[in-house]
Chain A
């Protein structure tokens, strides 16, 4: 490992998110690989489940708070073991949920359950304390000293997830990270527009959600004309939506989570075939 000589390695608690855990575990494996290559000690609190954003955004705040309390308890315990450790979130959106929404959600939910104001404030403080140590994966990576990799010439277009952009204020960081790992960025038209996912919105209001996704795919079409060979994002939710739509339209265009591209670049020169193969990863079972 590279950082043995840098002294004490940093400990990173991985927050994999439920979507990646269940539907694209190789994205989290790639993230572990990337973090370990940079000398970090990666831990995975195995009691973690889901941040509850689906329920929260749908207005089911009591249900969301059940999940949020569990999340805070799991990661608070993990962080207590190491005062320097941080939580790495594999989703800007889930990170935003924890950082921006948890404190007031848990405060109000405690009051709604009949707890005292003191107790509600304790939950709020606890959520704030844990939230301060959460960092989105690409933002963490941008702060890591990485030698500039030679350009692979692979054209990548990046979808900036709405919550990452607007709630965490992370806009250009992922593209910079991709560039420093040898990818060339192909811009996306109307890049700040939503992909239409919106959590359960994609299920309950599928006609509008799909119309928005198709708008995004139209923009993607233009990026492809300009040389994009792959679509990526730091939010797997958006990617699942867009790749799910592409798949239904029988369009084989490669869609890959950002950590997977970085892990690929870490291992040596990247080829288009390798990216395509990664995107097409099929379940054997």
Chain B
């Protein structure tokens, strides 16, 4: 069944121009993506066996997906024998309904959350708030964009598009609302300290914790959470009621598989050998224990994922959300995450958004946000064929007649002429004759049709008065 994704309804040119004119965002995004991409390369170079383990991780993910249903059944049985409850959600709406039922059953008034792309997919915060439940994002970046009523602009660093002045203003406003001391200054440490103090109150008071999950281990019924801030530990340790919402594709078959994959998000995403905090939840609190949830619900979300199984796109389900493809992408580095209009930005978002929704939303992504430089394919630790998929999606789009008819005709005529030497030479002669309308100072400076875009910002030399073909004919032709 097709998935549902929340989207930015602004048309692509509007999203694009907003991004290209946002200098704050461009500056930060450029610096941070470069740093993360370099950190990854350095970390691999300094860790002798890392690449070998990465290849094993790829195998683990591929095999786990191949037998997805069996592993999900084992996972469910394990979690439920250790005090948890597993719910399957086919669509985003199903997941929302389950989570609301759990919250309402326990008369939950306040929720604390870890960063989770899946809950962005659900727009969970809005659903909870509509039901009268207060939600607090506890990842610093997510907290900032929650205050700003915005969406994440990077999988790992959601508030990358905001600078300290903007964040200071948001925190000042928040301090007014909660009658608390505002941040001492615009200094980044002071801003972070403010968030620590403010969120601490919310951690201690919350009725329910909501987490995502980086991996699910079928054999042991474990949900694995990876953070650098420590907020996942707060969310899993403090409230008595815990809900983990995780995409079904996060499954790995067994513990040895987990060992192969567990370092990959940090290594590939930020160049750390492991993130500061790795939290493993494998059940509810025992009767003689102090910590751990009294009640634990795991919501396994499909939302279009399993329709990729047994298709050429199945490898997409191996994504570990490390963000490596975003960090190297030249387009992402220019436009940032919001321009993609989807929960998942960057190359993986280009591929996932149309696939999860069966081209229902944002069909422009594969064509408009990729130069096909293949940097993402090289960077992906899970060997997902991102460039190949993007080309494939462009073809699917064209087969479904989703391109402008004029564009399609241009390609048809182009191929018709250039598939024969005669047509090629003839079109070249026409171009040479026609181009002089557009030549200024020895360079072509404008052109009609498909090529017109080039000349908005670039020149081109005219078609040569003697092409190489003609030169060869003239100088060497007789010899052949």
Q: Which residues of A are at the interface with B, using a C-beta cutoff of 8 A?
A: 16, 18, 20-25, 28-29, 43-44, 46-50, 52, 54-64, 66-67, 69-70, 162-163, 166-167, 190, 192-194, 196-213, 215, 240-241, 244-245, 247-248, 282-285
Contacts and interface: CB of A to CB of B under 8 A. Distances in A.
Tell me the dominant secondary structure on chain A's binding face: helix
Considering the complex of A and B, which 3 residue pairs feature the smallest CB-CB distances, nearest first?
A59-B394, A198-B371, A63-B415
B330 interface: yes
A247 B441 CA distance: 11
A283 B465 contact: yes
B391 A59 contact: yes
Nearest to B466: A25
25 contacts: A21-B469, A24-B461, A25-B464, A25-B471, A28-B468, A43-B480, A44-B472, A50-B418, A55-B411, A57-B391, A63-B415, A66-B419, A67-B415, A162-B375, A166-B375, A190-B34, A197-B371, A198-B371, A203-B450, A207-B16, A210-B456, A212-B331, A215-B30, A248-B458, A283-B462
B372 A198 contact: yes
Contacts of B393: 59
Contacts of A241: 458
Contact of B330 (A21, A22, A194): A194
B373 interface: yes
Given A63-B415, A198-B372, A248 B457 contact: yes
Tell me the dominant secondary structure on chain B's binding face: helix
A57 B394 contact: yes
A58 to B, nearest CB: 6
B321 interface: no
Given A192-B375, A196-B330, A29 B367 contact: no
Contact of B374 (A25, A54, A167): A167
Contacts of B428: 22
Nearest to B449: A203
B338 interface: no
Contact of A211 (B334, B443, B463): B334
Interface string B265-301: 0000000000000000000000000000000000000
A174 B432 CA distance: 33
Contact of B424 (A23, A44, A50): A50
B413 to A, nearest CB: 9
Contact of B456 (A44, A60, A70, A206): A206
A116 B283 CA distance: 56
Given A49-B418, A199-B372, A25 B467 contact: yes
A204 B458 contact: no
Contacts, number: 204
Interface residues of B, number: 75
B473 interface: yes
A46 to B, nearest CB: 6
B204 interface: no
Nearest to B395: A59
A247 B443 contact: yes
B370 interface: yes
B368 A63 contact: no
Given A29-B468, A59-B395, A209 B371 contact: yes
A240 B459 CA distance: 9
A21 B477 CA distance: 16
A161 to B, nearest CB: 9
Contacts of A21: 467-469
A43 B472 CA distance: 10
B452 A60 contact: no
A16 B468 contact: yes
Nearest to A209: B371
A282 B442 contact: yes
A283 B442 contact: yes
A210 B333 contact: no
A240 B377 contact: no
A120 B364 CA distance: 31
Contacts of B361: none
Contact of B454 (A163, A194, A244): A244
A55 B415 contact: yes
Contact of B452 (A199, A203, A284): A203
A61 B450 contact: no
A213 B456 CA distance: 13
B453 interface: yes
B450 to A, nearest CB: 6
Contact of A70 (B330, B419, B454, B469): B419
Contacts of B420: 49, 70
Contacts of A247: 443, 458-459
A248 to B, nearest CB: 5
Given A23-B462, A200-B450, A206-B457, 20 more contacts: A23-B460, A25-B468, A43-B480, A46-B477, A49-B418, A49-B421, A52-B415, A59-B366, A59-B391, A59-B403, A60-B395, A67-B418, A193-B333, A198-B372, A204-B367, A215-B334, A244-B458, A247-B458, A283-B464, A285-B465
A215 B451 contact: no
B369 interface: yes
A213 B423 CA distance: 33
A194 B375 contact: yes
B368 to A, nearest CB: 6
A226 to B, nearest CB: 19
B453 A206 contact: yes
B123 interface: no
A205 B370 CA distance: 9
A59 B17 CA distance: 25
A63 B412 contact: yes
Contacts of A194: 330, 371, 373, 375
Contacts of A25: 464, 466-468, 470-471
A99 to B, nearest CB: 14
Contacts of B333: 193, 212, 215
B460 A49 contact: no
Nearest to A29: B471
A285 B423 CA distance: 23
B458 A245 contact: yes
Nearest to B459: A247
Most buried by A among B328, B454, B462: B454
A28 B471 CA distance: 10
Contact of A203 (B34, B453, B459, B463): B453
A198 B453 CA distance: 13
A90 B444 CA distance: 23
B178 to A, nearest CB: 40
Contact of B367 (A48, A54, A59, A212): A59
B398 interface: yes
A240 to B, nearest CB: 7
